[in-house]
Structure 1
Amino acid sequence: MSPTTPTSQSSCSSILRNQYQKVTSGFSSLSNSPPELWKAYLLKFLDSYAYFSFSLVFTLFLSNEFGMNDIQAGTIYGAWGALITIFGLFTGTVIDNLGVATCLRIGFVLSFVTRLTLFLCTSRTVLLACTLVALPLGNCLGIPVLTVGIRRYTNEENRGFAFGLFYVVMNIGALVAGPLVDILTIYYNGGETEDVQDSSNDDEFEAEIVPSTWVMTTNRAIILSGVVANFFAVGVAFSVREIKVDASTKTQPPSDSAVVGTGNNNLSSSNSNDGSDDEGDGFPETATSNRSKIHAVKSFQPLTGSSFQILSETVRTPNFRRFLLVCLLTLNVRMVFRHLDGTLPKYMIREFGADTPKGLVYSINPALIIILVPIITAATTRVPPLVMIHYGTYVSAMSVFFLAFSTSVTACILFVITLSVGEALWSPRLYDFTMSVAQEGREGTYMALSSAPLFLAKLPVGFLSGVLLSRYCPEHLEEGEARHSKTMWWIIGLSTIVSPIMITVLWDYISSGDRGKSGDSGGIATRISTGERVLRDDDDIYFPNEEEDVEDSYQNRPLTTNISLPRVRGQEQHTLT
């Protein structure tokens, strides 16, 4: 045995213990959080499951139940995502005006009614009304609102870990969705309605009732499971209060029995000082034991204003142009996640058979994200967000080329694994980047704008997916014909690699705000979601500011990890697509 082996093993063990301690300390830092934080996590899980299960079978649902060809199904899939963006640009200001609690109630009620209608409908007209109007509106009132809620329900010390856990919860929802799709596919195999005629060669889109009767199928069963998830989400949403954690109080260690806050200000309200909980913290002044176990909170008054005023203020904010450019530059690489939802399922069924484990392969992504995000973000907490975005997008973009070189289930698995590693590197830091530039009270507008590239990608990707599938991977082959799926993935791969290359080309401009400018002009990366940081000119590494003593922080409060929220892959919610 090499004499260096014990030292290496000791070093590795020390690193693992350190990372484990950071993660457990992160959970400890959330132990005193208000109930709204845990309700937000529950809502995120329910919403993520409903979203990802529907997204995975959406194009199949359009083709199997409503007789649409690949281009028609892909275009509607793309329009659904694009309309979430369009509605989101307007509802972002609505969120800022109405507040988190009200928007959650409206959004989840609307989503529940819409999903129930989709489950029952047989008319293309009703289908289009649901998927192009009601469902996008419900989605855009859920995706950014929960993210804003996480910010309101945490403080600077635990916010980074809270966002990371928020993202993990989203992926747990996606992880549950994948295997369930396979289970229901096997259970209902052969149960699709025979009355729907194959229209893969039809050029006309007829808005008429296609199936002669309603039949329970795999796709409808999956949608029904989303309806059930939405039903429970509605109940939870109506229990959420419009509050925020009082930033003037400090987090106490879990073992400290002292009351959080000082004097009579621990449970302050912006509207009153009488200790009532009409719309504030919900904890009476006499409940000292409760106050000692929970962060001090106060009611939050939304920062109201006209849509034009809010948007104009946002556009004039310093660094907004760089922020918007980064969102646009990641557009192409984000398209890969749309192909994961919209192209890969049909590709696998046509190349490997109807019973191929498409859901299981899909679930590799959320499973790896759950494991990798805490580890990678803990290990790279001092690396600027833009650096992680830069290199992570290269990894995600390269994943497509496994399918360009090989038509096999193994290639599909390698594609999803590599895509997931890249996502774990860059996607969490993109939302870290986004929330750090957002003004309090204007988070809804920023989240709407930052989500725009993700969902805007769906329109061209949906249409492109349909065109590529019909041309290179058609469902039916004439005698002597062959599929050319590798060509399809080459086209997708070459269009995706544009994102990281353009980030490299424009790096000097987009990273200019991270180079040690003083004060608020220091750039987005100088204010991350876990609290104020400064970026030193000589080494580009984050260090605590002068008001925070490192040794004291380790001794007197839980050590938290900068794990932040990445994509709503559709959300998701997913950040997520």
Structure 2
Amino acid sequence: MADVKVDEAVEKKTFAQAVNDAFKELGETFVAFVKAPKALWGINVPYIIEGLVYFGILTILGKFCSENVALTDPQAGWVYSFVTGGITFAMLILGGVSDKLGVRVSLILAFSVMFIGRALVGLSGTIPLGSGLGSPMFFVMFGGLFLMVLGYGLYQPASYAGVKRYTNPKTAAMGYAVIYGLMNLGAFFSGFISPLVRHRFESVFPPNGLPAVFWVYALLTLLSLLITALILTKKTDQKAVEQIARETAEMSEPVEETEEESKTVTTKQKINNLPFTIYSLITLALLLLVIMIRNEKIHFNLILASVLLAGSFLLSIWEYLRHRPDHPFRDLRFVAFIFMLIPVQTLFAHNWLTIPYYLDRAFHGSVVSQYFELFSNINPILIFVLAPVVAGLTASRNIYKMMIYGTLVMAVPTFLLSLGPNVIFFLSYILIMSIGEAMWQPRFLQWIAEIAPEGKTGAYMGIGQLPWFLTKVLTGLYSGYFVEKYIPRPETGLPEQSGKLWFIYGLIAISSTVLLWLTKGWMMKGMKEKAK
């Protein structure tokens, strides 16, 4: 085989055919939503609301931290890292809990915890508790966000478990497509609700009305809780499960034996994890030491402590992997591939880490600034419409080439913003960037599946999400510094230099394209070896 290509039998579509098929798919999605079993409505309806609330909070959290809690922009970025990274980590920890509690109980518990957490965030801006890092206001807000992180970590796995529980093998794909689309729709709607509430209650909740928005989001979470409890009853759940069981049994296609089931069960060699545990604890201690040095709590050589931290971290990884020869991280092509995408993935994180600040401050005094939430959430509705269109147009294209072209199209428009604040440039950036996202993001997991060894696809898929976790955490650690330096609050009188910020971000993002292109031969060679 001279090259690895997608099946040539796949029909190449014209633009008109792709658009027609895309809107047909959107129509089928809507019909599937309406005709879904009652139990699935208990998943889908709250999912729209939660999409609105979750992305709505991400859009205004930075402004709330900076203006209400009086944190610095870098400190606000750290809060973002905790929330977004913490949710991913919580999903890993609490995913199994939803299996033990069941879908209904897990969702009710998750919404209850998130309601309390979001109410605490609203309360922190409602009563006088002081301001600044270390103030009672900060700790009340942080406690609320912590509860929200825990609740969401339980909610997301339970929702997907619910889709699996209430769909049969033929309707499962549509079920997951619907729930993904609903999240994007909810995110788009938040752009309308937040500015209306904020402007209406600005005098009641000075200086900006944001506490009122958090209270509205808390009440919407309570609404989701009530909808879940009323629709997803034990009777409804049992009825849906019985219906799905009948439909599955009536299907003529025999259930194929999975790779895991077909393989002989082998006894795993017992691994001594004590050295890894010791190295990990040392790494954690050194991390705390570096943090305390940076905050001038301890006087010690920062460079030496950082070198020791890096060495201990690498030693921990080596100790873990050397006993696990089949671990995905032993596959250098796989590791290189997923980490090369981190730079372009930072643009996803900047949708909430930077863009709300940029629109609010760089366009200060304009309609864009007054309704920054709406302009910040254009991307979700574009992805909702563009994803099926782009998928239809590019279905027969080489996967790896689409990764290169898609990341390029996503990264290049960032340089439009380097020309200075301009609403046309911004809207063009969002449109072109969204097209690029639709080109490569769906191919990401497809490529991982292609390069994964037989029987290891699940493990590769799971590990493939790690860079996204790191992206959310790491981007939040530096974004606040860039915002403070290049997009300062207008009242400070400091010059606005957003063009420099976006030029730097553009260089970071496009490095993914360069790396994918430079390693193309090596990556494709691995695919050829697998195909033989």
Residue of structure 1 equivalent to 2:114: 111
Q: What one-letter code is carried by the residue in structure 1 that aligns with 2:46?
A: L
Q: CA deviation at 1:496?
A: 1.6
Q: CA deviation at 1:173?
A: 0.5
Residue of structure 2 equivalent to 1:353: 364
Q: 2:429 aligns with which of 415, 427, 444?
A: 415
Deviations 1:331-376 (A, max 9, x none): 2222112222121222222222155231232232122112212222
Residue of structure 1 equivalent to 2:378: 364
Instruction: Give the 3-state SS of the residue equivalent to 1:497 in structure 2.
Output: helix
Instruction: Give the 3-state SS of the residue equivalent to 2:377 in structure 1.
Output: helix
Q: How does 1:60-71 map to 2 (within 5 A)?
A: 60-71=63-74
Partners of 1:455 and 1:46 in 2: CA distance = 24
Residue of structure 1 equivalent to 2:441: 427
C-alpha spacing 1:16/1:242, structure 2 compared with 1 (3 Å): same
Deviates more, 1:402-411 or 1:98-107: 98-107
Partners of 2:168 and 2:469 in 1: CA distance = 29
Q: What one-letter code is carried by the residue in structure 2 that aligns with 1:180?
A: I
Partners of 1:491 and 1:366 in 2: CA distance = 24
Q: How does 1:262-301 map to 2 (within 5 A)?
A: 281-283=241-243
Q: 1:466 aligns with which of 480, 486, 496?
A: 480
Is the CA contact (8 Å cut-off) linking 1:92 and 1:446 kept in structure 2?
A: no
Normalised TM-score (structure 2): 0.69
Is the CA contact (8 Å cut-off) linking 1:323 and 1:434 kept in structure 2?
A: yes
Partners of 1:93 and 1:403 in 2: CA distance = 43
Residues 1:89 and 2:102 are matched in the alignment: no
Residue of structure 2 equivalent to 1:52: 55
Is the CA contact (8 Å cut-off) linking 2:119 and 2:144 kept in structure 1?
A: no
Partners of 2:154 and 2:448 in 1: CA distance = 18
Q: 2:495 aligns with which of 482, 488, 497?
A: 482
Residues 1:174 and 2:187 are matched in the alignment: yes
Partners of 2:37 and 2:448 in 1: CA distance = 24
Partners of 1:26 and 1:516 in 2: CA distance = 39
Partners of 2:180 and 2:93 in 1: CA distance = 25
Q: What one-letter code is carried by the residue in structure 2 that aligns with 1:118?
A: V
Partners of 1:189 and 1:362 in 2: CA distance = 20
Q: CA deviation at 1:406?
A: 2.5
Residues 1:183 and 2:143 are matched in the alignment: no
Partners of 2:164 and 2:204 in 1: CA distance = 45
Residue of structure 2 equivalent to 1:231: 222
Partners of 1:505 and 1:234 in 2: CA distance = 50
C-alpha spacing 1:43/1:388, structure 2 compared with 1 (3 Å): farther
Partners of 2:528 and 2:177 in 1: CA distance = 26
Deviations 1:78-114 (A, max 9, x none): 2222222333332344455555555433322221221
C-alpha spacing 1:509/1:150, structure 2 compared with 1 (3 Å): farther
Residue of structure 2 equivalent to 1:558: none
Residue of structure 2 equivalent to 1:393: 407
Q: How does 1:263-342 map to 2 (within 5 A)?
A: 281-283=241-243, 316=326, 321=331, 325-342=336-353
Q: CA deviation at 1:50?
A: 0.9
Is the CA contact (8 Å cut-off) linking 2:119 and 2:215 kept in structure 1?
A: yes
Deviations 1:149-195 (A, max 9, x none): 4455445545444433332211100110112223233323455536x
Deviations 1:391-435 (A, max 9, x none): 222222223211112222222222212221112222234356678
Q: What one-letter code is carried by the residue in structure 2 that aligns with 1:459?
A: V
Q: What one-letter code is carried by the residue in structure 1 that aligns with 2:152?
A: N
C-alpha spacing 1:470/1:40, structure 2 compared with 1 (3 Å): same
Q: CA deviation at 1:47?
A: 1.5
Residues 1:142 and 2:155 are matched in the alignment: yes
Partners of 2:81 and 2:405 in 1: CA distance = 28
Residues 1:503 and 2:516 are matched in the alignment: yes
Instruction: Give the 3-state SS of the residue equivalent to 2:444 in structure 1.
Output: helix
Partners of 1:438 and 1:102 in 2: CA distance = 37
Is the CA contact (8 Å cut-off) linking 1:336 and 1:496 kept in structure 2?
A: yes
Is the CA contact (8 Å cut-off) linking 2:116 and 2:144 kept in structure 1?
A: no
Give the structure with the higher percent helix. 2
Instruction: Give the 3-state SS of the residue equivalent to 1:141 in structure 2.
Output: helix
Instruction: Give the 3-state SS of the residue equivalent to 1:482 in structure 2.
Output: coil
Partners of 1:24 and 1:401 in 2: CA distance = 36
Q: CA deviation at 1:54?
A: 0.3
Partners of 2:522 and 2:94 in 1: CA distance = 31
Q: What one-letter code is carried by the residue in structure 1 that aligns with 2:195?
A: D
Q: CA deviation at 1:45?
A: 1.2
C-alpha spacing 1:315/1:159, structure 2 compared with 1 (3 Å): farther
Q: CA deviation at 1:27?
A: 6.4
Q: What one-letter code is carried by the residue in structure 1 that aligns with 2:220?
A: A
Partners of 2:103 and 2:161 in 1: CA distance = 7
Deviations 1:116-155 (A, max 9, x none): 1211125211222222x32222222223443454455445
Q: What one-letter code is carried by the residue in structure 1 that aligns with 2:502?
A: W
Is the CA contact (8 Å cut-off) linking 1:89 and 1:449 kept in structure 2?
A: no
Is the CA contact (8 Å cut-off) linking 1:277 and 1:284 kept in structure 2?
A: no
| Unmatched 5+ stretches in structure 1 | 1-10, 195-216, 244-275, 296-302, 519-536, 538-577
Is the CA contact (8 Å cut-off) linking 1:473 and 1:485 kept in structure 2?
A: yes
C-alpha spacing 1:394/1:37, structure 2 compared with 1 (3 Å): farther
Q: CA deviation at 1:24?
A: 4.8
Instruction: Note the aligned Cα RMSD (angstroms).
Output: 4.4
Q: What one-letter code is carried by the residue in structure 2 that aligns with 1:412?
A: F
C-alpha spacing 1:87/1:18, structure 2 compared with 1 (3 Å): closer
Normalised TM-score (structure 1): 0.64
C-alpha spacing 1:222/1:488, structure 2 compared with 1 (3 Å): same
Is the CA contact (8 Å cut-off) linking 1:401 and 1:489 kept in structure 2?
A: yes
Q: 1:494 aligns with which of 503, 507, 510?
A: 507
Partners of 1:457 and 1:136 in 2: CA distance = 17
Residues 1:221 and 2:235 are matched in the alignment: no
Q: How does 1:5-16 map to 2 (within 5 A)?
A: 16=19
Is the CA contact (8 Å cut-off) linking 2:190 and 2:374 kept in structure 1?
A: no
